[in-house]
Amino acid sequence: MSTISVIEGSMAVAQAVKVCRPGVIAAYPISPQTHIVEFLSQFVADNEMDTKYVRVDAEFSAASAVYGSSATGVRSYTASSSQGLLLMSEVLYAMAGTRLPVVLTGVNRTVSAPITIQPDHQDTMALRDTGLIQLHVESSQEAYATHVQAFKLAEDHDILLPVMVCMDGWILTHSFEPVKLEDQEKVDEFLPPFVPKYRLDTKNPLTYGAYADDEVPEFRLMMHFAQDRAKEKIKKIAREYEAKFGDYFGGLIDTYRCDDAEIIMVAMGSVIGTLKDAVDKLRKENIKVGVLKVRSYRPFPGEEILSAVKGAKMVAVLDKSLSVGQGGPLATDVKAAFASKQAPPVLGCIAGMGGRDMSMTLIREIIEKSQKAIATGETPDTEYIALKRQYLE
């Protein structure tokens, strides 16, 4: 029997990781990831998990240790945020390139400078091109489910890539919500033990991390092919999870009241819940809006997004980060996916950076800007929402 507990988002992740039975966890503390690794440490200390917990000297070492343990054929997990994720970044490129199916939680927090511990997506955006699969979650329950799904996805021999489950720091990690926790036996049925395709083994000596001069383009392309294959797998695993546990949070994307919507807001992460509430309110005012959740940021589901929004008059893409010198990364990807296709115009909206609250007022501002663009037929490239002008002077 599953149980429902009112727990912190961090505890939901820790509970999910626990039932996935990783053999090795290595982590280094950073806010707001800390509670996850504290809970996991306690599980190990209480013998509730048969796991080797490697307490390391830096995030760089955390990623490196799970690199080593995964290559030794053991299910491995780590978590970090912000500066910690950036410190890991060199290892994450190598980890994806070596096709090691590590699962990590990317607890989203902005990146210095200025330093703050507030959430936005600047950190995981910086890891966009690593080769990691990036799944973004909306709620603690989805975080729970997505971690269980992530191990199954990463370890699939057709995929063999690290999977990062991204969740907004504080907003999700430190909020208490009712979360349904699944039975160990049922999870074991859904997620069998990790069977490595290759591993470090003295009975079959293999070389990992060879020096390559001529083979680089093909190796990188093979990662790209694996991400392409992951598109179907992500959808399939989400449905398998639904069949087993009754919960479904979308495959590559999820939509809310999009069918007849004139304005569709596209976003990722915890803001989706707020946007759904906003849609319900706006619908009562006869404003036809909908929400599209991008659940898989890498692989990027361009075709699925286009197919879900093609009847709309305006697509407003919310970015909680800024690619300085370009604009919102999610909006940029959506625009690239729509280029030279029959598609609605795309209004890039930068909002919620540095943890700035995504309020109803702010969402109204996005809708008004979208309405104005529809009315005038002129869509600005990027709008900056709820700026405090005094700081710009």
Partner 1 sequence: MVLAERENLLAAGHRACPGCGAAIALRQILRALGRDTIVVSATGCVETFTSPYGMSAWEVPWIHSLFENSASVASGVQAALEFLQEKSSVVVISGDGGTFDIGMGAMSGMFERKQNITYICYDNEAYMNTGVQGSSATPYGSSTTTTPAGRASFGKIQHKKDMPAIALAHDVDYVATASIAYPQDLMKKVAKTKEIYGPKYIQVHTPCTIGWGFDSSKTIEIGKLAVETGLVPIYEVEKGKPMVVKKVKNKKPVMEYLKFQNRYRHLLKGEQKDIADQIQAICDKNIERFGI
Kindly list the residues in this chain that would bind partner 1 in the complex (CB under 8 A): 23-24, 26, 50-52, 54-58, 60-62, 64-74, 76, 90-91, 94-95, 98, 200-202, 204-215
CB nearer to partner 1: give 90 or 368. 90
Minimum separation from the CB atom of position 205 to partner 1 (A): 4
CB nearer to partner 1: give 74 or 337. 74
269 exposed, middle or buried (CB, 10 Å; 0-12, 13-18, 19+)? buried
What phi, psi does 42 have (nearest 5°)? -65, -40
Minimum separation from the CB atom of position 59 to partner 1 (A): 10
Whether the ω angle into residue 113 lies within 30 degrees of 0, i.e. cis, is: yes
Q: Which of 126, 84, 122 is nearest to 104 (CA)?
A: 84
Residue 323 DSSP symbol:
B
Task: Count other C-beta atoms under 10 Å from residue 13's C-beta.
Answer: 32
Minimum separation from the CB atom of position 286 to partner 1 (A): 57
Provide the token pair at 66. 């799970």
Contacts of 56 (CB under 8 A, 6+ apart): 26, 27, 28, 62, 65
Q: Which of 129, 103, 107, 133 is nearest to 233 (CA)?
A: 133
Contacts of 212 (CB under 8 A, 6+ apart): 219
CB nearer to partner 1: give 55 or 186. 55
Task: Count other C-beta atoms under 10 Å from residue 342's C-beta.
Answer: 7
- CA dihedral (364, 368, 369, 374) in degrees, to 10, reads 140
Minimum separation from the CB atom of position 90 to partner 1 (A): 6
Minimum separation from the CB atom of position 42 to partner 1 (A): 18
E strand or H helix that includes residue 84: helix 82-97
CB nearer to partner 1: give 6 or 206. 206
Minimum separation from the CB atom of position 30 to partner 1 (A): 16
Whole-angstrom distance, CA of residue 126 vs CA of residue 132: 11
Minimum separation from the CB atom of position 23 to partner 1 (A): 4
Whether the ω angle into residue 299 lies within 30 degrees of 0, i.e. cis, is: yes
216 exposed, middle or buried (CB, 10 Å; 0-12, 13-18, 19+)? exposed
CB nearer to partner 1: give 25 or 351. 25
Minimum separation from the CB atom of position 68 to partner 1 (A): 3
CB nearer to partner 1: give 75 or 298. 75
Minimum separation from the CB atom of position 25 to partner 1 (A): 9
CB nearer to partner 1: give 95 or 278. 95
- Does residue 26 sit in helix, strand or coil? strand
242 exposed, middle or buried (CB, 10 Å; 0-12, 13-18, 19+)? middle
Whole-angstrom distance, CA of residue 366 vs CA of residue 263: 10
CB nearer to partner 1: give 50 or 185. 50
CB nearer to partner 1: give 77 or 300. 77
CB nearer to partner 1: give 73 or 311. 73
Whole-angstrom distance, CA of residue 378 vs CA of residue 370: 10
